[in-house]
Amino acid sequence: MKKTTGIILFFLINVLQAQNYQLIWADEFGGDLLDENIWTKETGAGGWGNGELQYYTDREVNSTVSDGTLKIKAMAETYHGSSYTSARIKTQGVKFWKYGKIEARLKLPYGQGIWPAFWMLGENISSAGWPACGEIDIMEKIGGDGNEATVYGTLHWEQNGHASYGGSYTLSSGYFQDDFHVFTAEWDEQKIVWYVDGIQYHVIDITPSGLSEFHDEFFIILNVAVGGEWPGYPNATTVFPQVMEVDYVRVYKKKENLPTVYVTAPFNNTVVSSGSDIEVAVQANFSEGIEKVDFFQGSMKIGETNAISYKMNWLNLYPGQYRLNATAYSENGLPGFSPVINITVEGNATTSPYPGYPHPVPGIIEAEDYDISGTQDAWADGDPSNLGEIYRTDGVDIQKCFDEYGEYEIYSINSGEYLTYTVDCVAEAQYLFELRTASETDNGKIKISLDGTDLFGEINIPNSGGINVWEDVITDEFLMTAGIHEVKIMFTGGDFKFNRFGIYEPATVPSVEINYPVGGEVVSAGQVMEIRWESLKVEDVEIGFSSNGGTSWEFVSEGNRAKFGAFRWKTPQIESDECTIMIIDAENSNLRSQSGSFTITSSSDVDEEDQFEPEFALMQNYPNPFNPETNISFTLPDMEYVKLKIYDLEGREVAILVDEQMDSGIHSVTFTAGGYGELSTGIYFYIIEAGSYTDTKKMLYLK
């Protein structure tokens, strides 16, 4: 019993430490392609400044993704005058960071002259040069006899020439080629600390002025070099090919350096009736400003805004259990994530649409946004889990998609599997399906049913010329009546990928039409206006504004998802009766819709923060578990007398944190366990009373 308790406490302590950081970016290397929108494959030879022998190529044989890992392979072969080939990939210009925890799980190659590395360079290397840009070597290993159990972590910088400072770590048993290990650098304003499998082995203070390089942004590099002045060169003992396997690369930020965001309405565990509309409100804060807020049901984005107060309308909710959350982005793109709010929509339904409301028809439906159900009524998949390990946690296999349309795809498709979608048809008409698929065989086959009735018989999915070559498969026409329907896509043959499908009337062409404003409206300067539109076959839109009847324009927003049909915008501090809005197809600027003229009148110069109308909410404490301090936040819609107290499991009062009149807005208090006697490890409750409002949450204290 004591051993089990110790294991649990060790796990919880690790959780407590991990809560200082929040994952902000990762590549888990699922699927079968390297994401070249993120990673650049560098090419060439010339020694790379270290007397190396390899030629870095962009060939898939040297860098490939399969079975959940990236493989960087060094090979002995004659190529463009070099005797060896390998790969070197980087995130320069796309993903770069200042401070954070950067880590990768790697299985390393071995052998004399083999030099794998996981490292970072300053994003300004093109202008500053090396070593003035700075270099952070998170992991380097030089292969060969006596070296296979040791890795190195090093810093390089400019100090009247090249300067460096490094440390090393040696395994107590075994070698780094035997298994995967996690290599980490924790980097903040004061220091950089190196770890292997969570064990610290090296640290450097970066506060001296001579180390100013390490207070700028850095990008990531992964490579396997062959030979060089440090590792030496291959000899008769060196075996080729040599492979560095990368399970993942992850970047974390300290939570205090990220936006804070909470869903303040609706409340957690809200219950509403079928067909209800809910206004979703979010409180988001960050010292450097908030760029925008995205709203999600599960993993599916259902709305976005950049106007304070951060709100959206979640309409026509369908019976089911939903998980609402939000992400707030800082001006420089750092994300903060809200806790999940659980919503119940009452009513009878075998399955529930993933966005919380039926997918509109006509329109496009992403394959991964199939229905939710407590059982497998919404889907069937032959594997016990999601092989791609992203987007959703049930058994359907989802991975990153590199088609020009759609971020995710269904793959590893086998006969007997199916997906179900709840849709809402706006008008009775003849429709057809446009399915986006990719295949390198002729084995793929599907059936499509509407409300349980087979529409077309078996449909062949053609060989598109490659498993990542995408094309549209268009069905015959069928009649769909207005109202709610169930669409089921059944896979009767496998070996293909499925990205998305559209349901349209024949000969439908791209279109966009503004619904609000239409002209004649009068709004105040500084007021939040919800711009609304309808679109067909349009992916993204740009929103323009003119205050002089269209003589000149400025963008209100660029790159908004057309399917949301709404964008909240704060009107500028001007006066004009010649204001107009334009919605433009981001891919075709000739496709646009312009509103009639509306009027913006003067206002009382209301400050942005004053426009936030807080609703009562008690937030989950952070960190949780905690030792010895944790923060508790809450919002008040009005001035109220507030009591905030801590109780133990037996209902005994432990502490009074607040007992006073407080203004409306967001508030935060700190609970320090050591200040209230000898508290034991365990669960405690905090309860707030504010006027007619009351709420309770629990937290875990670990000594």
Percent composition of the chain: helix, strand, coil (DSSP 3-state, to 5): 5, 55, 40
- State how far the Cα of 502 lies from the Cα of 364, in Å rounded to an integer: 4
Going by C-beta distance under 8 Å and a sequence separation of 6 or more, which residues neighbour residue 365?
Answer: 359, 421, 423, 500, 501, 502, 503
Q: Which of 52, 135, 186, 640 is catalytic?
A: 135
- State how far the Cα of 411 lies from the Cα of 417, in Å rounded to an integer: 11
CB neighbourhood size of 215 (10 A): 13
Amino acid at 324: L
Amino acid at 499: N
Identify the CA nearest to 624 among candidates 688, 686, 676, 693: 686
**Exposed/middle/buried for 49, CB within 10 Å: 0-12, 13-18, 19+?**
exposed
The number of CA neighbours under 13 Å toward the Cβ of 583 is 29
542-545 long-range contacts (CB < 8 A, ≥24 apart) are 542/583, 542/584, 542/586, 543/567, 543/569, 543/581, 543/582, 543/583, 543/584, 544/581, 544/582, 544/583, 544/584, 545/569, 545/572, 545/579, 545/580, 545/581, 545/582
Per DSSP, 15 falls in state: H
Amino acid at 427: A
- State how far the Cα of 103 lies from the Cα of 95, in Å rounded to an integer: 14
594-599 long-range contacts (CB < 8 A, ≥24 apart) are 594/514, 594/550, 595/514, 595/516, 595/517, 595/518, 595/519, 596/517, 596/518, 596/519, 596/520, 597/519, 597/520, 597/549, 598/517, 598/519, 598/520, 598/521, 598/522, 598/523, 599/521, 599/522, 599/523
Amino acid at 529: M
Q: Residue 101's Cα: distance from chain center in Å?
A: 17
Q: Phi-psi region for residue 142, left (φ > 0), alpha (ψ -120 to 50) or beta?
A: beta
Going by C-beta distance under 8 Å and a sequence separation of 6 or more, which residues neighbour residue 552?
Answer: 546
**Exposed/middle/buried for 597, CB within 10 Å: 0-12, 13-18, 19+?**
middle
Q: Phi-psi region for residue 662, left (φ > 0), alpha (ψ -120 to 50) or beta?
A: beta
φ/ψ of residue 613, rounded to 5: -110, 90
Going by C-beta distance under 8 Å and a sequence separation of 6 or more, which residues neighbour residue 533?
Answer: 512, 513, 514, 515, 541, 562, 565, 566, 583, 593
Helix/strand number for the chain, H first, E second: 2, 56
Per DSSP, 508 falls in state: -
Active site residue 530: no
Instruction: List Cα–Cα distances, 554 to 541, 542, 562, 579, in angstroms.
Output: 14, 10, 19, 12
Going by C-beta distance under 8 Å and a sequence separation of 6 or more, which residues neighbour residue 471?
Answer: 436, 437, 438, 462, 464
Sign of CA dihedral 123, 127, 133, 135: positive
Element (H, E) at 27: strand 21-27
Element (H, E) at 127: helix 125-128
Please give the sequence-ordered ranges of beta strands (E in DSSP) within 60-149, or none if there are none. Answer: 63-66, 69-79, 82-86, 88-90, 100-107, 114-122, 135-140
Q: Which of 103, 140, 366, 368 is catalytic?
A: 140
Active site residue 542: no
As annotated, the active-site residues are 135, 140
